[in-house]
């Protein structure tokens, strides 16, 4: 476990360090004595500055104590696509945020952006830890005073889950159990859980309501469903406030271009439709392949429900505000409006301005024709509706970030 935190040292076994600002010195070039003396002096000065910047030695960490009027949220997976946007929104709304992520899929660059936007002590800390490490997770909970947990950390690609199911049961189901146990042990009473429409499988009736039976058809959906079941069983004898949000297809990024979606290049083949659109627009892949044009839908291609990440994180904040001890709320987060793959492709062409090559191919086994949500429950109970989602606009915003970040966040992927 390694803590990357501007304001304090996390524990004996972890070290605080400052992001950026230090130049690399080529050791081969400093052969003369004057140079060496100068180097030693500079290093000493640097150490003193770093010690001064770290208030650990005299001030207690603001993260370790409850503070009236301040809600401290643990955001797991906060270096990832949705988690980073959620952390940003929480920080803007004056929440105190601790991000735990092991950067296996997330980006240190996203953390750095957030730290630059919210540098004040007691706003944001980043703890580099694997959630599969139960001891480390317990230590984090004992050293920090969390009011709530938003649990985003997971592996999240349907295709990959069929090839490597254990990875999914481990990083989704087992890690959620670990987080829940730590919350139980340390008395943290509010959980907002990231679930997915993949837990429904292939329902016969559209739209999908929260009552639609859950019959997941791939390890990703099953692992998430099992995690939901664990949370719900635990909840029966607890006064925890639980909100389970089942997202539909998430697109878009921060409208002001500070954060974006930057999955690992090696995950491209498992990627999502928006990633494929941007990769095709950049020429990384030759074009888009639309599989299936003879579905019983208006234009023959599959229908999906796309939700902008800005709307999605708004649903999380509303869920957090409305969470009640001893109660559980389960909500679909979608627009209620399906859009066809053809519509998506047209929106992608328009948003990127690139005349993409599109191949229309036969159906791919396992795809279902139509999936869209019924968002009535979340509208009536949480007063949430999708305000930002607009296929063309969401893709335009995301494309602007993609174009400006050809190599993603282009910071070191590990420390
Ligand atoms: N993106 C979507 O369309 C979508 C749809 C439905 C549900 N979800 C859910 O939303 C959540 C976030 O998804 P995302 O798209 O932001 O994915 P992401 O891969 O961008 O982010 C996941 C983050 O979790 C971290 N992580 C994974 N395993 C970890 C571990 N063992 N310890 C510590 N950190 C770990 C990764 O490093 C990464 O930063 C996931 O739970 C996912 O299942 C996503
Ligand atoms: C992230 O956690 C996994 C275990 O879930 C571990 O195997 C992997 O090495 C970790 N990745 C990094 C970059 O630390
Ligand atoms: C998930 O779990 C597996 C062990 O099953 C581990 O090897 C892997 O690194 C974990 N993390 C990710 C992001 O895959
Ligand atoms: C619901 O949200 C809207 C803003 O989106 C707000 O104007 C309205 O007052 C809210 N209604 C309730 C009952 O909170």
**pLDDT score of 1:** 46
* Residue 215 and residue 314 in one domain: yes
Which residues is 101 bridged to in the sheet?
128
Q: Is the pLDDT of residue 6 over 80?
A: no
Supply the mean pLDDT for the chain. Answer: 88
Ligand 2 mean position, distance from CA 128 (Å):
10
Q: Is the pLDDT of residue 359 over 70?
A: yes
Higher pLDDT, residue 28 or 139: 139
In a domain, 413, yes or no: no
Q: Is the pLDDT of residue 114 over 80?
A: yes
**pLDDT score of 329:** 98
Tell me what the mean pLDDT of segment 314-328 comes to: 98
In a domain, 79, yes or no: yes
**pLDDT score of 44:** 56
Helix (H, G, I), strand (E, B), or coil: what is residue 84? helix
* Residue 42 and residue 183 in one domain: no
156 lines ligand 1 (CB under 6 A): yes
Tell me what the mean pLDDT of segment 98-121 comes to: 97
Q: Which residues 6+ apart lie within 8 Å of 225 measured at CB?
A: 199, 214, 216
Q: Which residues 6+ apart lie within 8 Å of 393 measured at CB?
A: none
In a domain, 145, yes or no: yes
Q: Is the pLDDT of residue 176 over 50?
A: yes
How does pLDDT run across 240-283, given as a tens digit for each residue?
A: 999 999 999 999 999 999 999 998 888 877 878 889 999 999 99
Domain boundary among 19, 42, 57: 57
251 lines ligand 1 (CB under 6 A): no
Please check whether residue 356 is in contact with residue 345, taking contact to mean a CB–CB distance below 8 angstroms: yes
Ligand 3 mean position, distance from CA 171 (Å):
6
- DSSP string covering 212-271, please? S--B--SHHHHHHHHHHHHHHHHHHTS--EEEEEEE-EEE---TTSS------GGGGGG-
Domain boundary among 15, 41, 57: 57
Q: Is the pLDDT of residue 103 over 70?
A: yes
- CA dist 351 and 394 (Å) reads 9
* Polymer length of the chain: 415
Nearest CA-CA partner of 339 in 309, 363, 306, 313: 306
Nearest CA-CA partner of 352 in 402, 394, 396: 396
* Residue 304 and residue 265 in one domain: yes
**pLDDT score of 16:** 30
Nearest CA-CA partner of 330 in 179, 219, 200: 200
In a domain, 296, yes or no: yes
How does pLDDT run across 328-340, given as a tens digit for each residue?
A: 999 999 999 999 9
Name the region of 122 (left: φ>0; alpha: ψ -120 to 50; beta: rest): left
Give the residues surrounding ligand 3 with Cβ less than 6 Å away.
104-105, 155, 166-167, 170-171
Nearest CA-CA partner of 81 in 201, 303, 334, 251: 251
Q: Is the pLDDT of residue 201 over 50?
A: yes
Question: What is the count of structural domains for the chain?
Answer: 2
Ligand number nearest CA of 154 is: 1
Tell me what the mean pLDDT of segment 359-383 comes to: 92
Ligand number nearest CA of 108 is: 1
132 lines ligand 2 (CB under 6 A): yes
Quick one: pLDDT band at residue 32, thresholds 50, 70, 90? Answer: low
Tell me what the mean pLDDT of segment 363-368 comes to: 82
Ligand 3 mean position, distance from CA 167 (Å):
5
Please check whether residue 389 is in contact with residue 375, taking contact to mean a CB–CB distance below 8 angstroms: no
Quick one: pLDDT band at residue 27, thresholds 50, 70, 90? Answer: very low
Tell me what the mean pLDDT of segment 313-318 comes to: 98
**pLDDT score of 410:** 81
In a domain, 409, yes or no: no
Q: Is the pLDDT of residue 322 over 80?
A: yes
* Residue 75 and residue 92 in one domain: yes
* Residue 346 and residue 298 in one domain: yes
Ligand 4 mean position, distance from CA 244 (Å):
21
b/e burial code for range 154-191 (CB count within 10 A of at least 16 → b): bbbbbebbeeeeeebbebbbbbbbbbbbbbeebebbbb
The two tokens of residue 170 are 């481990």
Ligand 2 mean position, distance from CA 172 (Å):
13
181 lines ligand 2 (CB under 6 A): no
For ligand 2, atom 11, name the residue with the nearest CA: 104
- Lowest-confidence segment of 166-180, 292-306, 332-346, 399-413 by average pLDDT: 399-413
How does pLDDT run across 380-392, given as a tens digit for each residue?
A: 999 999 999 999 9
Tell me what the mean pLDDT of segment 153-163 comes to: 93
* Residue 34 and residue 116 in one domain: no
In a domain, 133, yes or no: yes
* Residue 331 and residue 286 in one domain: yes
Please check whether residue 250 is in contact with residue 309, taking contact to mean a CB–CB distance below 8 angstroms: yes
Q: What is the CATH number of the domain that holds 317?
A: 3.40.50.720
- CA dist 176 and 186 (Å) reads 15
**What percent of the chain lies above the pLDDT cut of 90?**
78
- CA dist 217 and 371 (Å) reads 14
Tell me what the mean pLDDT of segment 51-58 comes to: 47
**pLDDT score of 19:** 31
Closest atom, ligand 3, to C-alpha of 167: 5
* Residue 92 and residue 46 in one domain: no
The residue range of the domain holding 137 is 62-404
301 lines ligand 1 (CB under 6 A): no
Nearest CA-CA partner of 177 in 193, 162, 158, 164: 193
pTM for the model: 0.87
**What percent of the chain lies above the pLDDT cut of 70?**
85
Closest atom, ligand 3, to C-alpha of 102: 13
Annotated active-site residue in 81, 95, 169, 220? 220
How does pLDDT run across 179-191, given as a tens digit for each residue?
A: 999 999 999 999 9
Domain boundary among 38, 57, 76: 57
In a domain, 237, yes or no: yes
Q: Is the pLDDT of residue 41 over 90?
A: no
- Lowest-confidence segment of 17-21, 92-96, 126-130, 236-240 by average pLDDT: 17-21
* Residue 242 and residue 144 in one domain: yes
* Residue 97 and residue 123 in one domain: yes
* Residue 11 and residue 34 in one domain: yes
For ligand 2, atom 3, name the residue with the nearest CA: 130
Quick one: pLDDT band at residue 25, thresholds 50, 70, 90? Answer: very low
129 lines ligand 2 (CB under 6 A): no
The two tokens of residue 182 are 């730590």
From 4, 156, 332, give the residue whose CB has the most ligand 1 atoms within 8 Å, as the site to mutate: 156
The two tokens of residue 355 are 């005349």
In a domain, 412, yes or no: no
Ligand number nearest CA of 387 is: 4
**pLDDT score of 273:** 87
Told to judge if 24 belongs to the known catalytic residues of this protein, a careful annotator would answer: no
For ligand 2, atom 5, name the residue with the nearest CA: 132
* Residue 15 and residue 152 in one domain: no
Q: Is the pLDDT of residue 366 over 80?
A: no
Higher pLDDT, residue 268 or 66: 66
């Amino acid at each position: 476990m390694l803590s990357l935190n501007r304001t304090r040292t996390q524990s004996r076994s972890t070290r605080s360090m400052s992001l950026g600002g230090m130049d690399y010195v080529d050791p081969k070039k400093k052969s003369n004595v004057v140079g060496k003396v100068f180097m030693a002096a500079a290093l000493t000065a640097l150490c003193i500055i770093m010690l001064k910047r770290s208030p650990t030695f005299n001030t207690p960490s603001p993260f370790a104590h409850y503070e009236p009027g301040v809600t401290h949220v643990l955001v797991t997976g906060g270096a990832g696509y949705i988690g980073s946007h959620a952390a940003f929104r929480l920080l803007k709304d004056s929440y105190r945020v601790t991000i735990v992520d092991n950067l296996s899929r997330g980006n240190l660059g996203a953390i750095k952006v957030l730290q630059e936007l919210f540098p004040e002590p007691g706003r944001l800390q980043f703890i580099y830890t694997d959630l599969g490490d139960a001891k480390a997770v317990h230590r984090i909970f004992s050293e920090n005073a969390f009011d709530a947990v938003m649990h985003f950390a997971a592996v999240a690609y349907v295709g990959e889950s069929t090839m490597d199911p254990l990875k999914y049961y481990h990083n989704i189901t087992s890690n959620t159990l670990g987080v829940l146990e730590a919350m139980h042990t340390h008395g943290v009473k509010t959980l907002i859980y990231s679930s997915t429409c993949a837990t429904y499988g292939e329902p016969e009736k559209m739209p999908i309501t929260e009552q639609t039976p859950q019959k997941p058809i791939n390890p990703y959906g099953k692992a998430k469903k099992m995690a939901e079941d664990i949370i719900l069983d635990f909840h029966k004898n607890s006064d925890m406030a639980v909100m389970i949000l089942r997202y539909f297809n998430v697109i878009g990024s921060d409208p002001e271009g500070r954060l974006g979606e930057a999955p690992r290049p090696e995950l491209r083949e498992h990627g999502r439709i928006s990633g494929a659109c941007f990769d095709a627009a950049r020429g990384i892949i030759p074009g888009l392949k639309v599989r299936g044009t003879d579905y019983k839908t208006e234009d023959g291609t599959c229908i999906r429900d796309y939700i902008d990440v800005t709307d999605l994180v708004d649903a999380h904040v509303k869920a957090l505000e409305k969470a009640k001890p001893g109660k559980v709320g389960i909500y679909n987060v979608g627009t209620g409006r399906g859009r066809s793959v053809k519509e998506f492709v047209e929106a992608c062409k328009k948003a990127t301005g690139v005349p993409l090559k599109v191949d229309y191919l036969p159906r791919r086994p396992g795809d279902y024709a139509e999936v869209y949500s019924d968002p009535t429950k979340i509208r009536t109970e949480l007063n949430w509706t999708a305000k930002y989602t607009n296929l063309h606009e969401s893709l335009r915003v995301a494309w602007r970030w993609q174009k400006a970040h050809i190599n993603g966040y282009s910071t070191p992927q590990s420390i």
